[in-house]
Structures are given as structure tokens and as C-alpha cells.
A and B are shown apart, each in its own frame.
Chain A
Amino acid sequence: MAATDTPPPAPSLPSFEAEAQTRAARRNRLLTLPALLIIGIFGVLPLLIILVYSFLEAGPYGGVVWNFSTEAYVNFLFQADIFSDKLTFAPAYLLIYLRSFLFAVATTLVCLILGFPTAYFMATRPPRQRNLWVLLITIPFWSNLLVRTLAIMFIIRDEGLINSILMGMGVIDHPITMLYTNFAVLLGLLYAFLPFMVLPLYASLEKLDFRLVEAAYDLYATRWRVLWRVIVPASLPGIVAGCLLVFIPTLGAYVTPLILGGGTHLMIGDLIAQQFGSGRNWPLGSSQALILMAVVLIALFVYVRNTTGRTPHG
């Protein structure tokens, strides 16, 4: 919002110049209008609909009945026991959220561990080579995520590429079960979201002034000290951006876990979709979506506060 941070005109400025500045500010405000309208109509309005729906009663065959009800939220943690009708603590949804959360954290961490050296390698190539590396990183995006996920399936299934090669070489007698396990889900998520980590990290590291690194070495800093005290703090914006870009979409990932995990365990995305489908409970689905959003916002808030406050030379 350029309009809000226009400084007040300095007192020494002639008045016509000040006037020109406020006019520019007004024009800037006008220029943001289309973006604000789009966000309002396609972002805020649907959210309001979800919010309203989450406080209504479920229609008999899907849809909503216009009666106020907080049942959708109560049901998130407590449900009438199927067999005694008493309202009891029901951890099913909580467990599903927890699983999605753990997968998201694990994916983010592994992406960071693999992505950082990759980005560092790219940033330290001669300038002319760098674009080639960026291009190579983006190549997987040229084909559809679903197609790539199915390809992973063919590679890791019991009668797939890896197992047939290993068995052909006599390394193993029985296929190693990889497909439809947590490992498969993690692999798929990692593969899908790694570029989202590498690219922001690269953008940060590329701007790093490597004379600082040389200076640190000159002052007898060890390699670890250089990494932790110079390179990591300088690339912190990239780390924060990369982690967010991986964590948030992973939390709501739907197709990858369903295909590679075999669907025996639900993730948040499946759970919400189910309420709008055969579950025929739109208010519950709406409340689940909003609770997910709240969790993401809180996690984001805590994360950004912690990481930006830690910069040693900030």
C-alpha cells in the first residue's frame, strides 16, 4: 500500500509541491483499487460465506438450513457417542489435523535441509550459469503435478522400477514396500514442493555479498561459524519465505497423500472434502476449513515473530 507510507511533506517544501505529492498519493490509492476489488470479491466474500455456513445447520441431503447452530464447532472436539448418546471427547479430527501438521513440518524441514545446499551451489556459480540452474529447477513444473505423482507411484511400487532393479541385481529377495506408506507420502510432498524452497533461498543467497564470507574467514572464523553467523542470517528472508511456501500448501495437500498414501489415513484436505460429499455436512466442512485457517495464521504469526526477532545483527 504505497499510499499509506507517503511521508508528510517537509515544512520547507513549497506548497505546490506538497499538493502534487498528495495528488500522487491519491492516484496510487486508485491504482490499488482493482487488486482490492478482486481480493474482496474472490477472497473475502467466499470466506464470509464459509463463516456464515459454519454456524448453520446441515441440510438433510447436503446444503444448509438457515438456523443458527454452533454444533459444527462443538463436533470438532466432542461428539455424541454413537453408542451412549453422551457428548464425549472425540479425537478423530484432532488426530487427522495432527497428522497433516506433522507431515507439513517434516516436509518443510527436509526441503530446507536439501534445498539450502542446492540453492547455495546455484548462487555460487558464475552469473551466466545461474540462469541455467534456475531453469533446471523449474523443469518439473512444466508437467502436471498429478502426472508426476503417478510417475512416482510407478517407480516405487512393489513391482516398480526400484524393486525390479534391486531384485534383478540380487540385492533383495522380496520387494521393499514403499508405496502406500508414510515414506511415500513424504517423498511425494518433498518432490512436489522442493522448488518452492530452493527458489526463494536462491534469490536470497544470490544477493549475499560474498566479501563478507571472505572477511569472516580472514578473521579466523571456522566454516560452521561462517555458515551460522554470516550466511544463514543474511539469507533469513529467503528461509522464512521458503518455509512458508512449503509449509502452507503441504498442510492442505490433497492429491499427493491420497494417491501415494493409499487413502487409508485421511488428511485435512480429504476430511473437508468428505463433509461436502458423502458426509452431507456442509457446516462441519466449513468449520473444519476455518479451523485450519486459524491454525495456519497462528503458526505463521509465531513463526514470523520468532525468526525475525532472532537476527543477531538486525
Chain B
Amino acid sequence: MKPKLIPALAALGLALAAGPALAKGELHIYNWGDYTNPKLIEKFEKKYDVKVTQDDYDSNETMLAKVRTGNTGYDIVVPSDYTVKIMIDEGLLAKTEPDQMSNFKNMKPEYVDVYWDKGRHYSVPWQIGTTAFAVDTDKYKGDIDTYAILFDPPDALKGQINMLDDMNSIMHAAERYLGIPRCSADKANLKKVNDLLVKAKPNWKTFSYDTITKMTSGDVIVTQTWNGAAYRMRQKMPSVKYAYPKEGIEGWMDNVAVLKGAPNMENAKLFQNFIMEPENAALISEFAGYDNGIKGSEKFLPASFADAPEIKRPEGAPTPEFVPPCPPAVVKIYNQIWTNLRK
């Protein structure tokens, strides 16, 4: 409810604030819920005299299903890494050439040649984060930097764990714990994953995306979650600690891309360039609590954010791994394992 309501209210507020003065252009953004800083939108509207409308989704797949039907009226979508690749492969995105834009120089070089958009011909970074888990260290004092916390929990944590209701992130976490490569089609490996999950499941209390509430309400002691969510948990509950499991950590990046045939193509390109401005990228991070891919944005953010343990990876922690979409044959077996797990 909340993630949907806030952007809707924000959009309404902006619409009212804009008053009778009619903007010259329009821009329709389709982004994740509870993810866009109203100040950022306001600034863009003022600068370019454009009226922005927003709509939101809760998973890449929801967005993809809607965009596939065509003629959505949206100009901008914010797909995650692997979804950008799918959308480019299926010809759903416009080649806006962000690499030719004036603010492109601000993009951190390590995010230019990414597998989902090599050389950045379609998309620019929105936010970047990792998926691992968080622990309430008031209730559990042991070492948390291992996936054993999720898959082989000590007695104190049994039945006190929330997992994301997300097939891929659980499969990949299990693969990391077992030392198996991602999207492995090898049957022996998949059987190991299956057995591990079946054994671990009785220790899991819930499957839910609503990780912040699950933790702060005291429903669970451990929750699989994203680093920005853990950052927000810690603001409410200082004992929360985000884990950097030694077996490896999942990275992801959401990217701003323009749909092919967007009704407001020029404004959409302006928006892509606009968010590569460090000050504007900082606005994005300030709201949702994730890092962005823009150099110099940290100057506009409080030091407590840039140095937060959830944002700044500690010395010796593994480098986040960006996982391409698994081949259909593997997804089919994942799906079987996943359904079987929850039958």
C-alpha cells in the first residue's frame, strides 16, 4: 500500500503546486514504488517546464508484461540490469545514446561497460545496491558474514528468518553457499540446491518483500534484504547489521531507459542527462538510501550516508556479482524447485 500511495500523492501534490501555469511538455515515468524523490521531479519540472506524471510497479516482470502489450504511454522505465538486457534484446528500448550526452562524463567508469548495456547506448544508472541479509545483533551475537545464517542457522535463529519472496535471489544465494556457479544447468548441482532449500525451509518463518517492517516489528531476527533497506532499518533500529557473506554477494543496478516510440522522446532524453548531474543523483540516493553510479554525488550527501556500513563495502568483503538472466531451461527447473519448496 505505502509504496504505491506515496508517489501517487507526490504526483498529485506536484500537479497542484504547478498551478494554472501549463507546462510546455510532458513526461511519463514508470518506476518502482517508493523510490523516486519528489524533490528531484520538482526540480526537473521547474528547469525544463515539463509536467511529469508517475506510475509504479513492484517487480521487473510486472513492468515487462505491461510494456510488452505496447502503447503504454510511458516514456521512461527503470529496469534492473538483467531486465535491461532482455528489453534491448526484444527491441523494446530506444537507442538514446546516453554516451553522447553532456553529463556522461560524470558516470563512474566501472558502470559504463556493463554486460546489459555495453558502452551505455540505451540506459543510465539510477541506483545501485546489493542483496544479502540483515540481522538484529541485539538478539544474535555470532558471526553473520556467511550464508549459513540463512541455510544452516544456529538454533537461536531457527524459525526467526524472513526470506525475500524472490526466486532468483534465493536460488543464487543457495548456489553461492554451495560454491556452485550461477544458473548452472548441471543436474547434480541443481539437486544440491534443491536439497539445501528443502532442508532449510522449516527454519524460515516467512517469504516477503516487506523486509523493513518484518525486522522493525520484531517478527524476525534475520531477513534477506537489500543494502538500502537495511540502511533504513538501522535508522529505526540501531542494532540492525547488514551482512557481507564471505561466499559472495549479489549486486544489482536499476537503470533509466526510454521506451521505443516514447511520446515525449526529447524530454525523456533530457531526463536521462539530468540525472547524471551529481547534485541530482545525490537527490535520488538521499531518498531511497542506495548508492548511485555518478562521480561527485557524495559531495551533496551527508558523510553519515557515504560512510554507512550498508553503502561503503568493508575491507575484504566480496565484490558484488551482477548475474545475467538464466537460460530458459534453467529457469524451468528453478521454477520447479521453487514451487515444490512451497507446495
Contact = CB atoms under 8 A, between A and B. Distances in A.
The B interface is mostly helix, strand or loop, or mixed, namely helix
Interface in B233-263: none
B106 interface: no
Contacts of A113: none
Contacts of B89: 61
Interface in A41-98: 58, 60-63, 79, 82-83, 90-93, 95-96
Contacts of B333: 82
A266 B343 contact: yes
A96 B217 CA distance: 30
A118 to B, nearest CB: 29
A262 B208 contact: yes
A44 B218 CA distance: 47
Given A82-B337, A92-B340, A96-B343, A61 B325 contact: yes
A116 B136 CA distance: 47
A264 B220 CA distance: 14
Given A82-B337, A83-B187, A278-B168, A63 B68 contact: yes
A265 interface: yes
A82 B328 contact: no
Interface in B165-193: 165-168, 187, 190-191
The A interface is mostly helix, strand or loop, or mixed, namely loop
A271 B339 contact: yes
A278 B207 contact: no
Contact of A82 (B64, B187, B331): B187
Interface of A: 58, 60-63, 79, 82-83, 90-93, 95-96, 144, 146-147, 150, 157-159, 179-180, 262-266, 271, 274-281
Interface in B295-343: 325, 327-328, 331-333, 335-340, 342-343
A187 B167 CA distance: 28
B156 interface: no
A90 B336 CA distance: 10
Interface stretch (B126-134, B147-155, B198-206): B198-206
B70 to A, nearest CB: 12
A180 B214 CA distance: 12
Contact of B90 (A61, A144, A277, A278): A61
A61 B328 CA distance: 7
B317 to A, nearest CB: 27
23 contacts: A61-B86, A61-B89, A62-B61, A79-B336, A82-B187, A82-B333, A82-B337, A90-B340, A144-B1, A158-B218, A263-B206, A264-B201, A264-B204, A264-B342, A266-B343, A274-B335, A274-B339, A277-B62, A278-B168, A279-B331, A279-B338, A280-B61, A281-B335
Interface string B102-137: 000000000000000000000000000000000000
A129 B205 CA distance: 46
A262 B167 contact: no
Contacts of A95: 343
Contacts of B338: 274, 279
List of 3 A-B pairs having minimum Cβ-Cβ separation, nearest first: A262-B206, A263-B207, A277-B61
A58 B328 contact: yes
B343 A92 contact: yes
A82 B190 CA distance: 8
Given A62-B65, A96-B343, 16 more contacts: A79-B336, A82-B194, A82-B333, A82-B336, A92-B343, A144-B1, A157-B217, A158-B219, A179-B219, A262-B205, A262-B207, A264-B201, A276-B61, A278-B167, A278-B168, A278-B335
Contacts of A278: 59, 61, 166-168, 335
A144 B2 CA distance: 13
Interface centre among A91, A93, A146, A279 (most CB of B within 10 A): A279
Interface centre among B205, B219, B339 (most CB of A within 10 A): B339
B208 A82 contact: no
Contacts of B1: 144, 146-147, 150
B208 A263 contact: yes
Nearest to A85: B187
A266 B208 CA distance: 12
Nearest to A265: B342
Contacts of A159: 217-218
Interface in B43-74: 59, 61-62, 64-65, 68
Interface centre among B1, B168, B206, B325 (most CB of A within 10 A): B206
Contacts of A63: 68
Nearest to B1: A146
B191 A264 contact: no
A280 B331 contact: yes
Interface string B18-31: 00000000000000
